């Protein structure tokens, strides 16, 4: 249980909001206001990049000549939303539908990104003269050089870590990746390097619409797609990312705007969602969109978000929900086996900082989710891998705050420990051979020996619940949201609370145990009804007449409005 990060004494709502904004890095009055009320007039970070005007010129030329354009995307939610974003603006700019294609590689056959195998299949089927690679391509030097030799130009819009180009200059016609210019171009800010591919593609679409004067471009639809991809790809919810997600959620809950994305509306209905929230995006919508790329082919997700007809969207949404349910069953088995393997590693090597787990029969499309669960359970970055049919091993990695896993993977590739891989701070992908396999664990132990990581669960305590203005608490939390990576959900302490029972006798089932999920606590502000996150813990700590010190989370209940109106006990001890 962490100590409060704000004073325990009662604070006026405005002062509380200002103090929290400062904790999130806002220093000036203008930065505080921008944090609390992000402006719809988002600053376009691509304007500062050297390749933007060149990219727009090439796109304009292709539209004018009616060239065949392929939007080549990754098979996850970030890649799918990015692909649809770019496709939308090109269609709005007048490019004929028959000359515009999306290509998503088959995860099992072609692997991740702009590989030679995927690029060869793409040009054989679609015959493009211009490829716009989204959420991939930054390190596909060989493939892009080969495509250039075939007379095909490539524009890359990506956010993954960038390896040094063998030629000293990136071979793409235009390379739009803030990480490639950060530190070299003073106009490229740190904020820009935290954007997802979907965020970058939103701004690319905005640039196209502005320069080419495209009045039919649907900005609100694009904002929803950009925010959805950003949240699901676990980007830090600060700065521009937070503004994108905040507006995406507000627009997605506006029925008039939601009509512009029938696929999202249909997925919400098929998933029985009452409202769109960060939870709904991150744990319901995102997994369904990702499921097609994990088990089947991501074209289904692209079709769902591209269609403008609800009658076409409904069966696609139902298909994705069914695929996601199948994914859950496969995931359960792999997670059990990976957990046992991780426990053995921790017993044998307690100093382990990064868990490296691999098994031949694990499903390659599921290992990323399992890596995330292992990370949460063991509070360590985790790499989980499976063997592919071509003999290579491929895996996904998930990190914890403060540990740049993408940089570690890039370093391993450069050292020859991995055959390939890359990513960003929170997530990465890896590829290695059977010969490299035995060396990886030892290398990780050696490279991370001196790195300190936080392995104890802590809570960012905003203040004491008794000090929060009760009538305005939901408004305070709404102003600070959305919460996620980089802007974690704030928690509250509650000191000297006494357990009491509500008006219904059913809330208490015995004299010595807390069996029900809900119980009330008497505090200075009155009786506060809460939900136990861990019922076993509730039964263990409850004692008649005792005073308690607790950590509470104030969250959204699953109602139509999705407002902040539910308290949950996360940690509890007797005072």
pLDDT in tens, 110-155: 888 999 999 999 999 999 999 999 999 999 999 999 999 999 999 9
Are 349-447 and 459-574 the same fold in CATH? no
Q: Is the peptide bond before 482 cis (omega within 30 degrees of 0)?
A: yes
pLDDT at 31: 84
- Enclosing H/E stretch for 91: helix 77-92
Token code pair at residue 330 = 């496969």
Q: What's the CATH code, domain 459-574? A: 2.40.50
304 vs 2 pLDDT, higher one: 304
Q: How far apart are CA 378 and CA 343, in angstroms?
A: 9
pLDDT at 15: 78
Q: Residue range 486-501: average pLDDT?
A: 77
552: left (phi over 0), alpha (psi -120 to 50) or beta: beta
pLDDT at 200: 98
In the chain, the percentage of residues whose pLDDT exceeds 90 is 58
Q: What is the pTM of this model?
A: 0.83
Looking at 3.90.1640.20, 3.40.50.720, 3.90.1640.30, 3.30.70.2860, the CATH number of the domain 45-217 comes to 3.90.1640.30
pLDDT at 503: 46
pLDDT at 322: 96
Interstrand relation of 427-432 and 393-398 (parallel, antiparallel or unpaired):
antiparallel
pLDDT tier, 539 (very low <50, low <70, confident <90, very high otherwise): low
Nearest CA to 554 out of 491, 464, 493, 499 is that of: 491
pLDDT at 383: 97
Token code pair at residue 307 = 């269609």
Per-residue exposure over 27-65, b if at least 16 CB sit within 10 Å of its own CB, e if not: eeeeebebbeebeeebebbbebbebbebbbebbeebbee
Domain parsing of the chain, residue ranges: 45-217, 349-447, 459-574
- Say how far residue 206 (Cα) sits from the centre of its chain: 22
* Side-chain half-sphere exposure of 325, counting CA atoms within 13 A: 8
Q: Residue range 554-563: average pLDDT?
A: 57
- Say how far residue 53 (Cα) sits from the centre of its chain: 29
Average predicted confidence (pLDDT) for the chain = 86
pLDDT at 435: 95
Q: Which residues contact 112 (CB under 8 A, 6 or more apart)?
A: 74, 75, 105, 136, 394, 429
Q: How far apart are CA 101 and CA 127, in angstroms?
A: 10
Res 288 pLDDT > 80: yes
| Four-residue CA torsion sign, 108, 114, 120, 121 | positive
Q: Residue range 533-562: average pLDDT?
A: 67
CATH topology of domain 349-447: Diaminopimelate Epimerase; Chain A, domain 1 (3.10.310)
User: How far, CA to CA in Å, does 169 sit from each of 138, 164, 173?
Assistant: 12, 8, 11
Res 107 pLDDT > 60: yes
Res 557 pLDDT > 80: no
Res 563 pLDDT > 60: no
Sheet with 130-134, edge to edge strand ranges: 100-103, 69-73, 130-134, 153-157, 174-176
Q: Which residues share a beta bridge with 359?
A: 386
Token code pair at residue 324 = 């996601």
Q: Which of 88-92, 153-157, 282-286, 310-314 has the lowest mean pLDDT?
A: 282-286
Res 333 pLDDT > 80: yes
Place of tokens 């506060």: 528
pLDDT at 9: 56
Res 360 pLDDT > 70: yes
pLDDT at 472: 65
Token code pair at residue 130 = 């211009």
- Say how far residue 168 (Cα) sits from the centre of its chain: 32
């Amino acid at each position: 249980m962490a100590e409060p990060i704000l004073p325990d004494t009662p604070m006026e709502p405005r002062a509380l909001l200002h103090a929290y904004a400062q904790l999130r890095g806002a220093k000036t009055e203008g930065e505080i206001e921008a944090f609390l009320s992000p402006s719809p007039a988002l600053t376009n970070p691509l304007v500062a990049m050297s390749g933007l005007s060149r990219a727009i010129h090439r796109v304009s030329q292709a539209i004018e000549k009616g060239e065949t354009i392929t939007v080549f995307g990754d098979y996850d939610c970030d890649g799918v939303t990015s692909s649809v974003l770019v496709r939308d603006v090109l269609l709005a700019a007048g490019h004929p539908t028959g000359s515009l294609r999306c290509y998503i590689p088959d995860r099992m056959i072609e692997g991740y990104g702009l590989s030679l195998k995927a690029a060869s299949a793409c040009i054989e089927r679609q015959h493009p003269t211009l490829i716009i690679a989204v959420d991939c391509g930054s390190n596909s030097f060989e493939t892009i050089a080969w495509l250039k030799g075939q007379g095909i130009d490539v524009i890359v819009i990506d956010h993954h870590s960038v390896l040094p180009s063998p030629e000293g200059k990136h071979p793409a016609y235009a390379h739009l990746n803030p990480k490639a210019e950060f530190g070299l171009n003073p106009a490229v800010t740190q904020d820009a390097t935290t954007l997802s591919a979907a965020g970058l593609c939103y701004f690319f679409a905005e640039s196209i619409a502005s320069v080419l004067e495209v009045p039919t471009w649907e900005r609100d639809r694009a904002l929803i797609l950009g925010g959805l991809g950003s949240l699901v790809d676990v980007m830090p919810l600060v700065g521009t990312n937070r503004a994108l997600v905040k507006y995406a959620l507000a627009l997605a809950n506006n029925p008039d705007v939601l009509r512009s994305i029938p696929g999202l509306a249909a997925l919400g209905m098929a998933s029985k969602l009452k409202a769109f929230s960060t939870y709904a995006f991150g744990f319901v919508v995102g997994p369904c969109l990702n499921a097609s790329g994990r088990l089947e082919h991501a074209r289904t997700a692209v079709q769902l978000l591209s269609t403008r007809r609800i009658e076409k969207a409904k069966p696609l949404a139902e298909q994705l929900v069914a695929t996601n349910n199948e994914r859950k069953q496969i995931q359960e088995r792999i997670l059990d086996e990976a957990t046992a393997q991780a426990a053995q590693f921790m017993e044998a090597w307690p100093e382990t900082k990064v868990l490296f787990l691999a098994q031949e029969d694990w499903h390659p499309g599921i290992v990323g989710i399992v890596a995330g669960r292992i990370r949460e359970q063991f509070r360590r970055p985790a790499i989980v891998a499976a063997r592919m049919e071509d003999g290579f091993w491929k895996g996904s990695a998930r990190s914890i705050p403060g540990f740049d896993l993408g940089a570690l993977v890039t370093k391993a590739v450069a050292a020859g420990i991995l055959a390939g891989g890359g990513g960003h701070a929170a997530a990465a992908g890896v590829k290695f051979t059977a010969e490299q396999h035995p060396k990886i664990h030892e290398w990780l132990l050696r490279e991370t020996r001196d790195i300190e990581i936080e392995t104890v669960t802590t809570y960012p305590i905003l203040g004491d619940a008794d000090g929060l203005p009760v009538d305005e608490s939901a408004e305070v939390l709404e102003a600070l949201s959305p919460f996620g990576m980089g802007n974690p959900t704030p928690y509250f302490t509650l000191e000297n609370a006494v357990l009491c029972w509500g008006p219904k006798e059913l809330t208490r089932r015995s004299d010595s145990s807390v069996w029900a999920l809900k119980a009330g606590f008497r505090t200075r502000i009155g009786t506060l009804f809460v939900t136990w996150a861990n019922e076993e813990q509730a039964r263990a700590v409850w004692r008649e007449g005792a005073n308690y010190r607790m950590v509470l989370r104030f969250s959204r209940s699953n109602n139509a409005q999705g407002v902040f109106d539910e308290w949950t006990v996360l940690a509890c001890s007797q005072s």
